[in-house]
Amino acid sequence: MRVASPFFTFDQLHNFPVLTPPARLAVIGDPIAHSKSPQMHNPALMARGIEAQYVRVQVPVGHVREAFRLFADQGFLGVNITIPHKFEALDAVDVVDPLAARLGAVNTLAIREGRLYGYNTDGPGFLRSVREAFGTEVRDLRVLILGAGGGAGRAVAVQCVLAGCRHLLLANRTESKLAALLDELRSLTTEAVALETCSLDHGQLAARLVGVDLVVNATSVGMKDGDAPLLPAGALEDRHLVYDMVYRASGPTELIRQAAGVGARHADGMCLLLHQGAISFEHWFGGEAPLEAMRTGLMTTLAALA
């Protein structure tokens, strides 16, 4: 039967329970019980008429390679990979997609005839979600990435440059940590790309926002109530586009509240999760993913948690 809360342990991979429809897709992480991916992918499988279901599996650090082989042995078709396994996954696949190699992390596994293919949907999911949320392309925007020194910020920065963004401002708590990223970004293009850095100091950000169209929060700030604001009060204008990669079932983040308060268009990480999931689905099954079925599944889940 289709389980209501599809959660399993790593040990169960050695002799996976028989389900109807059979488990053929999974998301792994440590922890993973909180993941909303099954509520997105199972409606997509039903919409496509695919007799399979998507489950969550808790995999400890250091066991990703073994888990991948066990998934293949059990007849799984694919796996999504989340924190903290994206870097370990890169070394555990047989074939690495060029973009995943460039980003240095794998978050989607496709299993084809026993071979393990690794992809990264972070950057492409970002591009699609910006297009949907704001009706424009990243290449046409001046972009500020808050927390560019972290894994999510780096992925967005690389994707922005690959997409042809001509003006990119990278903000990080410690500017010196951005030096290697700047070198990498410059190596990705022969075009004239304006790359600048600044700290997360409110004074610097207030001054720099004048020349920015899209603000991207790639930090974890906003996940908890009471987190200090990332931007100083009054710095955002109604012309700004605000993209917070954080999402919370309990309500909008402080950054989203700031954007809404001045009438700026905004989107949160749920949009990114949706489009990342759709791209994963397309790697597994080809064609376009049933996006609206996936969106409805996510929205129904969040509404029940609110």
- Cα–Cα–Cα angle for 47, 271, 220, rounded to 5 degrees: 135
C-beta atoms surrounding 177 within 10 Å: 14
Amino acid at 59: V
Measure CA 258 to chain center: 23
Q: Catalytic site residues?
A: 86
Q: Which two tokens stand for residue 171?
A: 């903000």
- Cα–Cα–Cα angle for 253, 259, 264, rounded to 5 degrees: 145
Report the candidate in 304, 302, 305 with the shortest Cα–Cα distance to residue 40: 302
Q: How many angstroms separate the most distant Cα atoms in the chain?
A: 59
DSSP annotation of 134: H
